[in-house]
Structure 1
Amino acid sequence: MYHKLKPILLTLFAAIMVWSCESELELQPEDNRQSAETVFKDSESYKQFLAKLYAGLAISGQEGPAGDPDLEGLDEGFSQYMRLYFMMQELTTDEAVIGWNDGTIKDLHSQNWTSGNEFIRTMYSRLLYQVALTNEFLRQTTPELLDSRGVDDETRANIQDYRAEARFLRALSYYHTLDLFGNPPFVTEEDPIGAFLPEQIERPALFDYIESELLDIEDDLIAAGQNEYARADQGAAWMLLSKLYLNAPVYIGEDRNSDVITYTEKVINASYQLSDSYQKLFLADNNSNGAQNEIIFPVAFDGQKTQSYGGMTFIIHASIGGDMDPESFGVNSGWAGLRTTSALVNKFLDNNDNPIEEVADQRALFFSEGQSKEINDISSFTDGYAVTKYKNVDVDGNQGSDATGEFPDTDFPLFRLGDAYLMYAEAVVRGGGGSQSTAVGYINDLRERVGAETISGSDLTLDFILSERARELYWEAHRRTDLIRFNQFSENGIWPYKGGVPQGATTQSFRNLMPIPAADLGVNTNLTQNPGY
């Protein structure tokens, strides 16, 4: 639905005070003469505004692929939501490295970032920008305003659905903020528009807010699996609640695994179905090849209508280099940046010397020809295996819709049923209730799909689950959160080039939280920096 955004709506965004107070968050209106009252004379404008909220996850400005950015201060491709979130979740872990020297990008994998890191700062800005847009949508759709505009009953009924979806999207961005930054500035639609210094919310209070929002909208969202593709429904809310509860020991110091069981069961018992092929989940037609029945909430990309140098454009192009053929991935070039470490590759091997080509597990989607498994020079693309998980081709090998091969159609599966199976199994092992035999069955469903050996009940341990989550979900933006939950992110886990040394090293536990950007601390006296920074 992103492409339906009308230019007239861009005028509204000038009225939104982006309250983090950073200069990077300056909006550029297309036409200052318009107002909300003139914009919303067209009843379709409400859906167009909602489309902008969804589009904020996929594109980076008002005109694709670049030229009129939402945020100033960082290259528009780098400032895109999914690209930044992928970097935060993957480059900081054992699952990905990047060979580029853009600014402080290598500090992410080395885990030696500071509060001045421009990628961390822009992730923070992007999250708060999304929240600000959603707040404005909710301000513009109150019953009082709809009454004053004479909105008809059918449109009002649709707007109630839109408001629930908007609140889900705000909860999602606040969840990412909770996970990454812990204690951000906090504003809702109840706060005024204009220049003010927002108060900081503590992590437990933000957890409670996200939980209460999701529970409050649960019955207002369209039934699981029944909304338009790529729009939020009950299943998306249940997945986000499951994520929130699974990580509750980190966020609030409480065990909520019984709630994980409750909400993953809701997902599993809904209409979703595992794709018959793992690879189909990551192809250009994953919205129609059967994978859409497993994908609960994607960030949708279209090679013609959501052109951006972030998101899947970045993930696919940057994964290609060396002896790889870009054409076989449905793109026109490789950017020679992203690879993985031997720590991930070894999770697929019986012993670390086995050739990856002999692995039966079909999730081992690596390119090794001309690549060394170990990384001696992180700047060299041929150091480290390449990942071939995502492609801009359909099941028949046809390139996506953009004839140039620049911008992919492949959607990013932010939430999918396979993850619900894994979360259920982890909650069982952690004592949340449920059934061990059911959990083993779910794991084996995933493993049988890819030709891996099945497991028995005695195999279902926390160590196994952490490794299985890597095998099933690598490069799907879960790894940093998983490693922190398993106490393996900073003090205990070691992988190549963590800590900035080839053999890897532990880092300090304060890095389990990202810093509040120095730029925001400099202008908002209500904010306190996270410990360690």
Structure 2
Amino acid sequence: MKKKNSIQKYISGSIALVLLLLGMYSCNEDVLDETPLDFISTTNAFNSPDDVEMGVVGLYSLGRDWYSAINEKYMFVFTALGTDLAYFGEDPAGGYMSNWDTDITPTSDLPERFWTKAFDLVYQSNTVIAGIENLEWNNEEKKNMYLAEALFFRAFNYRILVTLYGDVPLVIEPIATPKTDFVRAPKADIYKLMEEDFAFAADKLPVNGQEAAAGRLTQGAAWHMLSETYLAQNKYQLAVDAATHVINDYGYDLMRERFGSQPNLFGSENVYFDLFTKENHNLGSNKEAIWVIQNDPDVTGGGFYAGERGYGCAYYRMGNTPDGYKAFLGDINNGSYTGYSDTLGRPVGWSRPTNYTAYNIWKSDWDNDYRNAEACIKRHFYFNNPNSAYDGMEIDWSLYESRSSVFKDTTQYIYPYFMKAAAPNDHYTDLSRAGGGVNHKDVYAIRLAETYLLRAEAYLGLKQPGKAADDINEVRKRSNATPISAGDVTIDYILDERARELYTEEWRMLTLMRLGKLVERVSAYNNNPGNPGLSIQDYQNLWPIPQTEIDLNTGGVLEQNPGYE
């Protein structure tokens, strides 16, 4: 197994530096405009390679928020909510991303929060970059490795900004004095910077297997992101070339045989299940993992994964059996039942998959595709109370004469639960540390299956559907899905395959925006019963520039995106 504790021990040590850097901003002030009285400069924050190490690992810690923060719900907005894949099950009519017309406006919360978070990480990256450049080094290779990591994080967060907002300010140096004259740089300039940053990272990062610790970036991750960056600009051959580097040059491979900690659970065939079993993400035998976000509950600042809380259905909230007993007794604590169970993570039901995600994309291969197996998508739930005559029977709403919660029965309480987000029966028994809808699985940020699908998209752009089908079939065959032909390949089919393979992993919001397909597919596939189609408008393939940014930028003009004026 690859080392896991190295990066985590540095994360805990870097918290002080992270907080110091974050202290440069007040929580209610504009991230671009405010300069603190106790400004930290690159000359006094980075005095040694050890300081640089702490600063770089601080970027990993801050970047992990995109994958784990519960209250901010960053992860769920990126992966599913507001897209074709899911709606807010806890409150379909008024919850997160249930209405684009009211949730995504110049004065609403989400656009400002994401803008601030992404620019904060751009700023932190610039601070570390400048600190690296200002320090005298005896080891040029080490300097370039740290520089590559910081440049990767800058480009990674500009990827978020340019996709969500279009033209955005181009900031490549730390801001040492108050600045209120930002202008929006053309997307082409942002992509040029991203290409340069990712290309440097692809050259100077360690190769796969040589990284200092699990979770540290490697050349393969940079080539993968470079491929997507080229795709965003319709540079299809360059995208193919970049993805091919990942597929051919670093020893990665799709996992085709059972592996890891539970290789015989649920039969001998479903290797897809193994990819998401806790502790398997970082195994040296896992050749598919390219970049894994690290979570470790036993280390200060070790992180967590809120997948169960968000993606799982709140089955334990459904109330009583048809004969009046609690449907689930729950766990026993201090001799009495808690009323809930942590075996599946005490989920809330934030990200309820649409019918497209839960049913439609599986129809043609329902019984063949391992990704649709019960081990991967839990579709059957059972009453669990020995006092009831229904104990052990499958929950079926037709067993009830009537229910007052018909709406929530299928939007929050019982729906297909994608088990890749869960860690069944693997939670702390200490209730002060357990549950709450979080577990401590690691999380794939980049997996080789997605690289194949990126290259398939590039081949389609080059009008080579046969090669695109070959790449898609590499992914499908691993899961026993029926191969497709060149004539089947369209951009919508690739999006379907991404949903089958990458739900809960890919940042679907960015994928659809990059392709200009967001409005079309949300309107067609988001069957939120409280607001079908989510009231998305034709102009909303971009988010608005936050009005606070426009108002505070008194020395320049930040034009608003069309439709939001």
Decide whether the 8 Å contact of 1:92 with 1:110 is kept in 2.
Answer: yes
Task: Report what 2:489 is aligned to.
Answer: 460
Deviates more, 1:463-472 or 1:13-22: 13-22
Residue identity in the other structure for 2:161: T
> How far apart, CA to CA, are the structure 2 residues paired with 1:517 and 1:77?
22
Decide whether the 8 Å contact of 1:392 with 1:400 is kept in 2.
Answer: no
Are 1:97 and 2:87 an aligned pair? yes
Decide whether the 8 Å contact of 1:114 with 1:515 is kept in 2.
Answer: yes
- Which of the residues 451, 457, 465 maps onto 1:426? 457
> How far apart, CA to CA, are the structure 1 residues paired with 2:486 and 2:75?
35
Deviates more, 1:399-408 or 1:45-54: 399-408
Task: Report what 2:417 is aligned to.
Answer: 386
Are 1:334 and 2:347 an aligned pair? yes
> How far apart, CA to CA, are the structure 2 residues paired with 1:210 and 1:20?
29
Are 1:280 and 2:274 an aligned pair? yes
Q: Secondary structure at the match of 1:504?
A: helix
Deviation by residue 1:188-209 (Cα, 9 ceiling, x = unmatched): 12x5412112332222221122
Deviation at 1:321, TM superposition (A): 3.5
Decide whether the 8 Å contact of 1:110 with 1:498 is kept in 2.
Answer: no
Task: Report what 2:511 is aligned to.
Answer: 482
Specify whether residues 101 and 430 from structure 1 end up closer, same or farther in structure 2 by C-alpha distance, changes over 3 A only. same
Q: Secondary structure at the match of 1:293?
A: coil
Q: Percent identity at matched positions?
A: 24
Are 1:510 and 2:539 an aligned pair? yes
> How far apart, CA to CA, are the structure 2 residues paired with 1:497 and 1:137?
41
Deviation at 1:213, TM superposition (A): 2.3
> How far apart, CA to CA, are the structure 2 residues paired with 1:35 and 1:459?
55
Task: Report what 2:338 is aligned to.
Answer: none
Specify whether residues 532 and 187 from structure 1 end up closer, same or farther in structure 2 by C-alpha distance, changes over 3 A only. same
> How far apart, CA to CA, are the structure 1 residues paired with 2:455 and 2:396?
37
> How far apart, CA to CA, are the structure 1 residues paired with 2:307 and 2:42?
37
Task: Report what 1:176 is aligned to.
Answer: 160
Task: Report what 1:347 is aligned to.
Answer: 360
Deviates more, 1:43-52 or 1:101-110: 101-110
Specify whether residues 336 and 460 from structure 1 end up closer, same or farther in structure 2 by C-alpha distance, changes over 3 A only. closer
> How far apart, CA to CA, are the structure 1 residues paired with 2:179 and 2:504?
38
The TM-score normalised by the length of structure 2 is 0.75
- Which of the residues 294, 300, 320 maps onto 2:288? 294
Deviation by residue 1:125-155 (Cα, 9 ceiling, x = unmatched): 110110111111112122xx323xxx5x24x
Decide whether the 8 Å contact of 2:42 with 2:127 is kept in 1.
Answer: no
Task: Report what 1:186 is aligned to.
Answer: 170
Task: Report what 1:137 is aligned to.
Answer: 128
Are 1:48 and 2:37 an aligned pair? no
Specify whether residues 182 and 344 from structure 1 end up closer, same or farther in structure 2 by C-alpha distance, changes over 3 A only. same
Decide whether the 8 Å contact of 2:295 with 2:305 is kept in 1.
Answer: no
> How far apart, CA to CA, are the structure 2 residues paired with 1:451 and 1:321?
27
Decide whether the 8 Å contact of 2:101 with 2:537 is kept in 1.
Answer: no
- Which of the residues 37, 58, 64 maps onto 2:64? 58
Deviates more, 1:329-338 or 1:197-206: 329-338
Deviation by residue 1:110-134 (Cα, 9 ceiling, x = unmatched): 5642122212321111101101111
> How far apart, CA to CA, are the structure 2 residues paired with 1:479 and 1:43?
37
Specify whether residues 523 and 318 from structure 1 end up closer, same or farther in structure 2 by C-alpha distance, changes over 3 A only. same
Decide whether the 8 Å contact of 1:180 with 1:513 is kept in 2.
Answer: yes
Are 1:447 and 2:476 an aligned pair? yes
Deviates more, 1:331-340 or 1:444-453: 331-340
Deviation at 1:417, TM superposition (A): 0.7
Residue identity in the other structure for 2:246: V
Q: How does 1:76-475 map to 2 (within 5 A)?
A: 77-79=70-72, 83-100=73-90, 105-108=95-98, 110=100, 112=102, 113-142=104-133, 145-147=134-136, 153-154=138-139, 157-189=141-173, 192-197=175-180, 198-227=182-211, 228-248=213-233, 255-270=234-249, 271-276=251-256, 277-289=271-283, 292-305=286-299, 313-323=305-315, 333-350=346-363, 359-364=367-372, 365-369=376-380, 370=395, 376=407, 380-382=411-413, 384-392=415-423, 398-399=426-427, 404-406=433-435, 407-431=438-462, 437-475=466-504
Deviation by residue 1:204-231 (Cα, 9 ceiling, x = unmatched): 2211221122234432222245323222
Deviation at 1:456, TM superposition (A): 2.9
Specify whether residues 509 and 405 from structure 1 end up closer, same or farther in structure 2 by C-alpha distance, changes over 3 A only. same
Specify whether residues 201 and 306 from structure 1 end up closer, same or farther in structure 2 by C-alpha distance, changes over 3 A only. farther
> How far apart, CA to CA, are the structure 2 residues paired with 1:18 and 1:205?
30
Between the two proteins, the alignment pairs up a number of residues equal to 486
In structure 1, list runs of 5 or more residues that go unmatched.
66-75, 249-254
> How far apart, CA to CA, are the structure 1 residues paired with 2:350 and 2:296?
23
Decide whether the 8 Å contact of 2:312 with 2:349 is kept in 1.
Answer: yes
Specify whether residues 218 and 505 from structure 1 end up closer, same or farther in structure 2 by C-alpha distance, changes over 3 A only. closer
Higher relative contact order (CA 8 A, sep 6+): 2
Deviation at 1:268, TM superposition (A): 0.7
Deviation at 1:78, TM superposition (A): 2.4
Task: Report what 2:402 is aligned to.
Answer: none
In structure 2, list runs of 5 or more residues that go unmatched.
1-6, 257-270, 317-327, 332-340, 381-394, 398-405
Q: Which has the larger radius of gyration?
A: 2
Decide whether the 8 Å contact of 1:246 with 1:256 is kept in 2.
Answer: yes
Decide whether the 8 Å contact of 1:317 with 1:331 is kept in 2.
Answer: no
Residue identity in the other structure for 2:116: S
Deviation by residue 1:16-62 (Cα, 9 ceiling, x = unmatched): 57999617998999xx79986676455422211111001112249xx
Deviation at 1:399, TM superposition (A): 4.7
Deviation at 1:163, TM superposition (A): 0.9
Are 1:521 and 2:515 an aligned pair? no
Deviation at 1:524, TM superposition (A): 1.3
The TM-score normalised by the length of structure 1 is 0.79
Residue identity in the other structure for 2:107: G
Specify whether residues 202 and 486 from structure 1 end up closer, same or farther in structure 2 by C-alpha distance, changes over 3 A only. closer
Deviates more, 1:382-391 or 1:100-109: 100-109
Specify whether residues 236 and 332 from structure 1 end up closer, same or farther in structure 2 by C-alpha distance, changes over 3 A only. closer
Residue identity in the other structure for 1:431: L
> How far apart, CA to CA, are the structure 2 residues paired with 1:233 and 1:140?
21
> How far apart, CA to CA, are the structure 1 residues paired with 2:468 and 2:526?
35
Specify whether residues 417 and 380 from structure 1 end up closer, same or farther in structure 2 by C-alpha distance, changes over 3 A only. closer
Deviation by residue 1:358-410 (Cα, 9 ceiling, x = unmatched): 633121233333588xx9559940365333221236xxx65589983345332
Over the residues paired in the alignment, what is the CA RMSD in angstroms?
3.8
Deviation by residue 1:71-117 (Cα, 9 ceiling, x = unmatched): xxxxx7423xxx41431341011212223459974335656421222
Residue identity in the other structure for 1:385: P
Deviation by residue 1:312-352 (Cα, 9 ceiling, x = unmatched): 6322222334436999976652233322010112334437x
Residue identity in the other structure for 2:243: T
